[in-house]
Amino acid sequence: MVERDPHVRELEGFFLERAGCRVEFAEDGEQALVRVAEVKPDVVITEVLVPKVDGLTVCRRIKASAELKETRVLVFSILSVAARAREAGADAFLLKPLAERSLVKTVRELLAMPEEGGG
């Protein structure tokens, strides 16, 4: 998860861990890309406005990678950029403010999505 606001980061982590998810945070988009390549998570949640590499670029790079393209990406932002998130390849978009029910529901839906390769 890449989130610049420490309070939102803490709440996101709390809500998702309470829902049974294992959560890991990156400080910026660059670190997120390194960790995603190492860990290969099922879902990546990124804010748009993160340092070094913005969240939409993080999404594009994940989706452009042969090894990572099946990774689900949720773009979560205060900016109303749902169309840009979809263009970047995001599987889902949530507009802030943070709502536990919406976040957990969206992550569960992403985890339940079939892989594009027919897996």
Assign residue 56 the CATH number of its domain.
3.40.50.2300
3 state SS of 1? coil
pLDDT in tens, 73-90: 999 999 999 999 999 999
Phi/psi region, residue 20 (left: phi>0; alpha: psi -120 to 50; beta: rest), is left
User: pTM (2 decimals)?
Assistant: 0.92
Q: Is residue 31 part of a domain?
A: yes
pLDDT in tens, 34-54: 999 999 999 999 999 999 999
Report the number of distinct structural domains present in the chain: 1
pLDDT in tens, 19-35: 999 999 998 999 999 99
pLDDT exceeds 60 at position 119: no
Q: Is residue 116 part of a domain?
A: no
Exposure string over 7-40, b if 16+ CB within 10 A, otherwise e: ebbeebbebbeeeebebebbeebbbbbebbeeee
Domain holding 90, by residue range, is 6-108
pLDDT confidence of residue 114: 77
Q: Is residue 32 part of a domain?
A: yes
